[in-house]
Amino acid sequence: MATATGRLTGRSAVAGLLGSRARKSAQERADARLGLLLATPAILTILLIAVIPLAGTIWDSLFRLSLRFENAPRPFVGLENYWTVLGDASWYNALQVTGLVAGVSVAVELVLGMIIALLINRSFRGRGIVRASVLVPWALTTVVSAKMWAWIYDGRYGVANDLLMRLGLIDGPIIFLVRPDITIWAMTAAEIWKTTPFMALLLLAGLQLIPGELYEAAALDGASRWQTFWRVTLPILKPTILVALLFRTIDAVRMFDLPRVLTNGGPGKSTETVVLYTYNTFFTSLNFGYGSTLAVMIFLIVMCISFVYIKILGAPTQGARR
Amino acid sequence: MSDVLMRRSSRRAFLKTSLLVGLAVPGLPLLAACGSPAQPAATSAPAKPAEPAKPAEAAKPAESKPAEAAKPAAPAAQPAATTAPAAAAPAVKSTGTATTVVWFAGRDTTGYRPKMIEAFNKSNTSIQIDYQEQGATTTDLHDKFVTVAGAKDPSVDIVSLDVPFVPEFAAAGWTIPVDDVFPKEEQAKFFQGTLHGATYEGKLWAIPWFNNGPGLYYRKDLFDVKGLKPPKTYDELLAAAKALQTDDMTGFAMQLPQNEGGIINWIEYLWGYGGDLVDDKLNVVVDQGTAGVDGMQKILDFVYKDKIIPEAALQFRLGADVMNLFRGGKAAMIRLWFSNVGDLYKDDSTVKAGQWDVAPLPSKTGEKPGPGCLGDWNLGISKFSQKQPAALEAVKILTSYEYQRTHFLDGGFLPARTAVFDDPEIQKKYPYAKQAQASFEGLKPRPVTPFWPQMSADAVQPAFGQAMARQIPPDQAIKQMADKMRQILKG
């Protein structure tokens, strides 16, 4: 319905551009008006919650803007803050942490999520319950699950240490959250645990769109399961996979609540993500100008990731149209 | 055929939507910045109409201990009329309806304070308090108030202030000085170190509310059995810990995580070895001399070489973590705040009264007790409050002798007024009160500068955390810390 209206609006807009106003029927003009009217709330909402704050942040990022002292001057510094970011070791550290955690967690989630989706796409007794319970980690508030993982990793009472010691893999308890070499992976594991269900859910939705007759045809042609997966499932699932990757990558880049609750960036700054660094710049350093600059940088990064994925996404659709 | 087409077009629509969402979502973190004062137009929030009074709340049926906090003072030792008579009640007129003031406070795990506020609201007709705890940690309270005050929003009247908040909020222009309404003779009745912590650039910015400092909790019963005395020096501490340590009980424990609670423990050792973070003129001196390195090395030795502190101390983020160890009978000695003492009086404490005591902190030489860090809480007034007179009046009552006395007696929160310690009932109930009083006389604040929260989070905590995790040696940690502190002070 919305698509239909959108298409109509588009067509009349093109007609308007070509200067063929006179040839438009009254019906078409009414449709165009209605389309615009229906789209207005969405456009206003996006303006209000995305464009205006974004513009405000970009504006702030051009000032030296510290709330530290009441009457401190707040001079316009142009792009100086952006210049500072380029030489900011803390920024590069946060970028590295974020990239590492996001890359590893999204890759692992894709594999695990695919396995889970394939499993729960089959029909078996109690499938409904299994599907619902798979979603539990994702449904939990991140702060709650982060606290939970903090207990799991606890050096004295933690389940993780208990398990590893019972299995004889370690001799004494490991304090997971204060070991620079271990903490970041402990955090990544918690992130994977939490968001794999989301990946599985999106992939499952994609799997269910694949018509059964394709599998029947594949079976008739004598394809093995492995061949069916590579030649039928995966190609049809590709757009879904890309969308899932897009969502998860953007999410992972913006990771904040897990590190804030689990490690607060420590030990040292070994788990400080870009958003956590930005938050601290705002609220601990009270440096709202530079904080805005960091926020804009994150926005740019996320936008680049989006464009890359969408470019890849766009390709097969165009091919199909031809 | 048409089925396939339909599916394709709907998928395209889905992709289009996802594109929109993908672009809109990243804008969200930027929302954080939209209250910043670069845009005066956006921040001059329209004045909120005064909140309607809540007579219904005041008239709630009395349940717990009717108006306990307001009961008359003990007849004998009563040094001062509590709500400063000199104040002459500025502006607050009780014209039948009460003024409701909003109080942003930190979390009270004892659950006592809501009851105290209920009693306050029952006994005061002209002022009602809307008590709001902001999150679990001190940082949560800090960040919430920064959000509100940064937007010049009038929705907060009273704010609880940890020591480092005082200069920070004063410099930012978010709280108001209270010298004028809080006369010198009234100030003289407080611990001087505590008052010092509420002072910035010669002005008093908040009224001390409850006091806090560290002590050395020890197992008196075990010490007696071994014929030991509470340690006066770091070496005696080590010897006593080794003598008492068993497989099931650690000799000593303190908080050593990478947070404010952790670095305070090191700062006390830094002071103990004669060093400091900054001098009187705010020059960074932590890397001058060897005190910083020695203090850090001492703690590292306690953990990794002498093994009298469990490694798990590196993740004791809360004072309660250390206290649980002690009251569960798993530690012979701990360095902890007096504010945590209440847990030892609870029924579920394995260690009972008579089995424990508190001593002054040990020091390097033992001539004087080791220096303790000031950790008290103050009450300040938001500059953007539109009910400042009422808020001030409420703060005066809450910090009065009588309130500090009941706050201690019933809630376990130690007073900032010296005279409360002379109360016979207090002395009877809390045998450690004398020890706490002695400790409070010598407390030192962390660097009194609006830069401290940033210096702590960006310079001291990461370096300390890396050193404790043995990622870098102490000398490198101190150098890294000092460099970063200088960089921050430059602005």
B99–chain A nearest CA distance, Å: 29
Q: What percent of chain A has pLDDT over 70?
A: 90
B489–chain A nearest CA distance, Å: 11
Best of B315, B322, B452 to substitute, by most chain A Cβ atoms within 10 angstroms, is B315
The partner residue sitting opposite A284, judged by closest CB among B18, B25, B454, is B454
Which of A22-31, A62-71, A228-237, B257-266 shows the lowest mean pLDDT across its residues?
A: A22-31
Complex ipTM: 0.77
Quote the DSSP letter at residue B309: S
Would you state the pLDDT for residue A123? 81
Mean pLDDT of A27-36: 90
The mean pLDDT value of chain A amounts to 86
Instruction: Name the residue with higher pLDDT: B37 or B374.
Output: B374
Mean pLDDT of B243-265: 94
Residue B415 pairs with which residues in a beta bridge?
A: B210
Q: Which two tokens stand for residue B183?
A: 């006369």
pLDDT for A207 beyond 70: yes
Among A43, A56, A93, residue whose Cα is nearest residue A299: A56
Tally of CA atoms within 13 A in the half-sphere of B21 that contains its CB: 13
Would you state the pLDDT for residue A315? 60
Give per-residue pLDDT as tens, B276-301: 999 988 999 999 999 999 999 999 99
Give per-residue pLDDT as tens, B416-453: 999 999 999 999 888 888 888 888 888 888 998 999 98
- Contacts with B9 from chain A: Cβ below 8 Å: 3
Would you state the pLDDT for residue A66? 86
Would you state the pLDDT for residue A264? 87
**Predicted structure pTM score:** 0.78
B464–chain A nearest CA distance, Å: 8
Give per-residue pLDDT as tens, B298-345: 999 999 999 999 998 998 988 888 999 999 999 999 999 988 888 888
pLDDT for B42 beyond 80: no
Q: For A60-86, b where at least 16 C-beta lie within 10 A, e where not — what string?
A: bbbbbbbbbeeeeebeebeebbbebbe
CB of B230 within 8 A of CB of B215?
Answer: no
**Region of residue A222 (phi > 0: left; psi between -120 and 50: alpha; otherwise: beta):** left
Taking CA A191 as the corner, what is the angle to CA A189 and CA A197, rounded to the nearest 5 degrees? Answer: 105
Q: Inspect the interface and report whether the beta carbons of B171 and A209 lie closer than 8 Å.
A: no
Phi, psi angle pair for A234, to nearest 5°:
-60, -50
Q: How confident is the model at residue A54 (pLDDT cuts 50, 70, 90)?
A: very high
The set of residues, in sequence order, having a beta carbon less than 8 Å from that of A94 and lying 6+ positions away, is A269, A272, A273, A274, A276, A277
Q: What percent of chain B has pLDDT over 90?
A: 57
The partner residue sitting opposite B25, judged by closest CB among A71, A250, A267, is A250
The set of residues, in sequence order, having a beta carbon less than 8 Å from that of A11 and lying 6+ positions away, is none
Would you state the pLDDT for residue B359? 92
Q: Inspect the interface and report whether the beta carbons of B29 and A254 lie closer than 8 Å.
A: yes
pLDDT for A150 beyond 50: yes
pLDDT for A169 beyond 90: no
Mean pLDDT of A181-188: 93
Q: Which two tokens stand for residue B140?
A: 């949560």
**C-alpha span between B234 and B300 (Å, rounded):** 13
Would you state the pLDDT for residue A316? 53
Best of A62, A284, A305 to substitute, by most chain B Cβ atoms within 10 angstroms, is A284
A22–chain B nearest CA distance, Å: 31
Which of A62-71, A293-302, B166-175, B390-399 shows the lowest mean pLDDT across its residues?
A: A62-71
Instruction: Name the residue with higher pLDDT: B360 or B54.
Output: B360
**C-alpha span between B352 and B285 (Å, rounded):** 44
pLDDT for B70 beyond 60: no
**C-alpha span between A157 and A214 (Å, rounded):** 52
Q: Inspect the interface and report whether the beta carbons of B171 and A68 lie closer than 8 Å.
A: yes
Omega prior to B445 cis, within 30 of 0: no
- Contacts with B258 from chain A: Cβ below 8 Å: 178, 264, 266-268
Q: Inspect the interface and report whether the beta carbons of A288 and B38 lie closer than 8 Å.
A: yes
Q: For A170-208, b where at least 16 C-beta lie within 10 A, e where not — what string?
A: eeebbbbbbbbebbbebbbbbbbbbbbbbbbbbbbebbe
Among B395, B441, B443, B442, residue whose Cα is nearest residue B418: B441
Q: For B235-272, b where at least 16 C-beta lie within 10 A, e where not — what string?
A: eebbebbeebbeeebbbbbbbbbbbbbbbbbbbbbbbb
Q: What percent of chain B has pLDDT over 70?
A: 80
Q: How confident is the model at residue B140 (pLDDT cuts 50, 70, 90)?
A: confident
Sheet holding B158-162, edge to edge: B127-133, B99-105, B158-162, B377-381, B207-210
The partner residue sitting opposite B462, judged by closest CB among A173, A246, A268, is A268
Would you state the pLDDT for residue A22? 55
Mean pLDDT of A208-218: 90
